Structure 1
Amino acid sequence: MGLDSKQVALLVLLVASVISVVIALILSLVKSSEVPLPPGTKYGMVFDAGSSHTSLFIYQWPTDKENNTGVVSQTHVCDVEGPGISSYANDPPSAGKSLVACLEEAMNIIPPEGQRGAPAYLGATAGMRLLDLKNKTASDMVLSEVSKTISRYPVDFRGARIISGKEEGSYGWITINYLLESFMKYSFGGRWVRPVSSKIYGALDLGGASTQISFIPKVEIADPEQRADFKLYGFPYSIYTHSFLCYGQNQALKQMLVKAVEGKDLSQPINIPCYPAGYKSTIAQASLYNSPCTVKSAPSSSLVQDITITGTGNSTQCQDLLKTIYDFSSCTGKEFCSFEGIYQPPVVGKFFAFSAFFYTFDFLNLTSGQDLPTVKSRIQTFCAQDWTELQASFPKERTDRLREYCANANYVLTLLLDAYKFNENNWNSISFMKQAADTDIGWTLGYMLNLTNMIPSEASASVRTQSYDVWIAAVFFIVLTLALGLLMLVLYFR
C-alpha cells in the first residue's frame, strides 16, 4: 500500500526531527571538558624558637595538593622582640607574652575564614635543648606558657615542642631543595613534574647553640642514627644528617674562651687572638661555665674571680685556638668521621650554607663565590684591624657583634674545613645564602611541607564547560527540532 503525499511529508519531517535531536545530543556531549574551579587557600604558622631569638613564619598553600605534598609558599615573617624563649627560664610567663605581638600581626594577615583551620606549631631548637638538659622543669614551664598564649588565638594549635637536631637538619635540607625545585618543577603544560636530571643540594646550618649538616652521599649510609628518610611528591629520599649540639657559634666561642683561660694565671690579662687588637673587657669566671656545653670543664675551685681579656687580632692563632674545642682524637682509625667519633661520609655535591654561616660571611662581603685563598686573606686582613679602627669603620654595629666577627669567621673556616672536611678543591661547591626564591632558608618551611601530608586533601570542585561555537550549534539544532515538530503537527491536523 503506497503512501500519499501528506504521509510522505510527515515521514520526512519525522526523520529530520530525529536526526536534529541526535545531532543536538552529540554536540551537547562532545568537546566538553572538566575545568577545575580555583582552589581555596590554607594557611599555616610555625614559630622558630631559636637559642638567640624567635621568628614566626606564615605559610599558605592551595587546598589541592601534588602527590600528598602541599605547594607551600612563605607569606610573611615576624621577628619576635627580645631573646630566645630559653632565656625566660626564670620567668616563663614572659616567654608567652613575647609572642603576642607577632600573633596579633598574624591574625591581621590570615583571613578570618582561614584562621580556624590554620595549623600552628612552635618548634624550639638548640637553646631549649640545652635548657632541657640543664633544668627540665624550667624547660617544661616555658613550653607550657608559650602553649597557653598561642592557644588563646583562633588557630588550630598543634603543640609546642623541642625538635631534635636530626629534624632541624633534615627539614632545612627539604626547604632548600623545595625552593630550588629539586623535587618538582612547574612545567609549561601547567602541571608539576619531577625534573629529569634533578640536582639535590646539601644543607649547612649554623645557629647559636648547634650546627647541622645534611646531604645525600655517594656511599651507603653506614650509621642508621645519621640517616633520615622522606617521601616527597611521591618519591623516596634518604639523606645523611647530623646535628652537633654545643657547636653553634655562641656556644663554640664560649668553649673557645674556656680553652683560652685553661691553666692560665687569671690574675693577669688573658690574650684572646680571636678578638681585635686593643679590645679589652672583664668577664665573670662563672659566666664561662654556666652552660651544659662547658660545665664539665669548670675547675674545682670556686668561680668567683673576674677575668680580664685582651684581644690580639691574629687569625692564624685564632684558628689554632678554635681547633682545640673539637675532639678529633676519637676519629682515629675511622674511615669516615667528622669529630667526636661521629660518622660522616665524604661531602659531595653542591651545598647551601645559611643562618649564621651567611650572616658572618655577608658582613665580610664573602658571599659572592670567592675562592678559599681569597676568603682566608680577607679574614686575616679583617682580624688584623685595631679595635678603635673597627669601631670607627662600623659605628652602627653592635659592640658584641663587631668584637666577634673575627672569631666567628675563623670558626666557620675550622668547622667547614677541619670538621666537615671541605677543602680547596670543593670549597666553591658551597653557596652562602639567606634566601632562595624570595623565601627564608631554614627548617620551618621543610617542617610545614612535611606536615601537610597530615592535612586531608580537599577534592577540587569542577564544572563542565563547552566552547562557544559548539554551544551555538547545539542551540540551532534544538530550535530546528522544535520547528520541525511544530510543522509536523500543523500538517497532521490539516
Structure 2
Amino acid sequence: MGLTWKQRVFTALLGTAAVSGLTALLLILVGTINVLLPPDTKFGIVFDAGSSHTSLFVYQWPANKENDTGMVSQALACQAEGSGISSYASNPARVGESLQGCLEEALALIPKAKHHETPMFLGATAGMRLLSRKNRSQVEDVFAAVRQALGQSPVDFRGAELLTGQDEGAFGWITINYVLGLLVKYSFSGEWIRPLEETLVGALDMGGASTQITFVPGGPILDKTTQATFRLYGADHTVYTHSYLCFGRDQALSRLLAELVQAFSSFYYTFHFLNLTSKPSLSEANATVWQFCRRPWKLVEESAPADQDPWLRDYCASGLYFLTLLVEGYGFSEETWGGIEFRQQAGGTDIGWTLGYMLNLTNLIPAEVPAQRRAQSFGVWTAGVVFLVLTLAATLGAVGVQLFWIQD
C-alpha cells in the first residue's frame, strides 16, 4: 500500500526543511571571510604654556597610523584661566589650579576607558625661558607644582619641561605643513601620498616673548645649532630653525615703552585688525600701517570694535615692529612679500607647536594592527537568510500537516 497524499506532503516538507537547513548551516560555517574592523582611536593632550597664557589641546588619531606617524586631528582647544605659568613664580601652588578647568574638559571628552593610555605633556616656551635667565630656582618650583597637579590625573602624564626655541619653531613648521596637506595627503585613488618637498612652506611664529623662523634651506646648514631633523610618514626632513628670545611682541613693546613716555596706543591679530591678512603687497601693508598710526586717537577709539579696547593702543607699534622685523630682520622684499600668509587656523586646526609635537610623539607610540572578525559577504548573508526562512516555512508546514493528520 502506497503513501497517502498527507504522508507524501509531510515527507517532502521535512526533506525540504532538512536540505535548506543544512545549506544555511554550510553557508554560515563556510561562507565567512576575514573583515578588518575600523581602527581604534588614540588620544593625546598637550599644554602650551606660553608667556601670556596657557592653552590645552586634545588630539586624536587612528591607532594603525601611516608609515609610523599618526594622522592627527584636533578634537579640543581650551584656554586656561589666568596668565602664563611664569606669572606664578612667586606663588607656584596656584599654577595647578589654573590648569584644572581645561583638564576637566579634556577628560570629559576622552572616553574613560582610554584615560590610562592617553599621553599628556606640558611644554613651556619663551616666558619660562626668560624666567630661567633671571631665577632658575623659581622655574623649578613652578615645574614641580605643575608636575604635582597634572601627575594626579588619570591619564599618562609624560612630564612638563622647558622647550627650546628651536623645538618650538620646528614643531610649528610641522604643524603648518601638515594642516596644509604638504607632508601627506589622501589621493583620489584611496592612498596616502607624500607631496613633493618643493611644495613645503616656511613658518614664522610671533609669540609674546620670542619669535621663530623655520624653513627648508636651499643649501647645507652651516650652524648645526640651527638645524632640526625628524622623520614623518616615512620621510626625513631637515629644516633651518632659529628663535629670537626677547623679540616677541610683548617684549618688544615693553622695551619700546621703557624708552618712550607714551606710545601709540602677534602677527595674525595685529594684521587681522588692520585688514592685512588677504595677501596685500608690501607697499600696501606699509601704507596701511602708517595710515592707521597717523589717525587721531579719538577717531581710532570711535571706529574700533568694543572687544578690541585692551589691545587698541598697541596695534600701531605692533604693526610697525612686525614690518621692521619681516623686512629688515628676515629680509622679505616686495617680490617675496606676497608669499606670506597670516593665519590663526588652517583646516580647522590651531596653528602652533603643539600639533607638530603630537605628530612627532606618535612615532614613539606603537601602531596597533587592526582587529579582524569573521563575517559574511552581503550575497552569502542574503542567501543564508533565504534558506533559513525556507527551513522555517517548511518546518511549520510539516507541523501543520502533522496536526491536520492527527485531527483526522
- Asked if these proteins are the same fold (TM beyond 0.5), I'd say yes
* Structure 1 unmatched ranges of 5 or more: 1-23, 262-269, 277-355, 477-494
Change (3 A) 1:130 1:35: same
Give the TM-score, by structure 1 length: 0.69
**Deviation readout 1:153-179 (Å, 9 max, x if unpaired):** 111001011111000000000001111
Counterpart residue number, 1:396:
306
CA-CA distance at 1:473 after TM superposition: 8.5
CA-CA distance at 1:190 after TM superposition: 2.9
CA-CA distance at 1:387 after TM superposition: 1.9
Counterpart residue number, 1:489:
none
Contact kept, 8 Å, 2:33 with 2:377, in 1: the verdict is no
Task: Tell me the SS of whatever aligns to 2:199.
Answer: coil
Is residue 275 from structure 1 mapped to residue 277 from structure 2 by the alignment?
A: no
Is residue 442 from structure 1 mapped to residue 348 from structure 2 by the alignment?
A: no
1:168 & 1:208 partners in 2: Cα distance?
Answer: 13
CA-CA distance at 1:35 after TM superposition: 2.9
Task: Tell me the SS of whatever aligns to 1:100.
Answer: helix
Counterpart residue number, 1:426:
336
Letter in structure 1 aligned against 2:240:
Y
Structural mapping, 1:351-430, within 5 Å: 356-394=266-304, 396-397=306-307, 399-430=309-340
Q: How many residues align?
A: 362
Letter in structure 2 aligned against 1:275:
F
Letter in structure 2 aligned against 1:405:
Y
Counterpart residue number, 1:193:
193
The structure whose residues are more often helix, as a share, is 2
Contact kept, 8 Å, 2:182 with 2:200, in 1: the verdict is yes
Task: Tell me the SS of whatever aligns to 1:374.
Answer: helix
Letter in structure 2 aligned against 1:210:
S
* Structure 2 unmatched ranges of 5 or more: 1-25, 387-408
CA-CA distance at 1:400 after TM superposition: 4.6
Change (3 A) 1:198 1:466: farther
Letter in structure 1 aligned against 2:158:
R
Change (3 A) 1:382 1:33: farther
**Deviation readout 1:75-120 (Å, 9 max, x if unpaired):** 0111111111101111111111111111111121111111111100
1:154 & 1:475 partners in 2: Cα distance?
Answer: 47
Task: Tell me the SS of whatever aligns to 1:417.
Answer: helix
Task: Tell me the SS of whatever aligns to 1:460.
Answer: coil
- Identical aligned residues as a percent: 51
1:468 & 1:196 partners in 2: Cα distance?
Answer: 41
Counterpart residue number, 2:246:
246
Contact kept, 8 Å, 1:128 with 1:139, in 2: the verdict is yes
Task: Tell me the SS of whatever aligns to 2:335.
Answer: coil
Contact kept, 8 Å, 1:28 with 1:474, in 2: the verdict is no
1:246 & 1:197 partners in 2: Cα distance?
Answer: 32
Give the TM-score, by structure 2 length: 0.83
CA-CA distance at 1:188 after TM superposition: 2.7
Task: Tell me the SS of whatever aligns to 2:60.
Answer: strand
Counterpart residue number, 2:107:
107
2:385 & 2:196 partners in 1: Cα distance?
Answer: 47
Contact kept, 8 Å, 1:183 with 1:198, in 2: the verdict is no
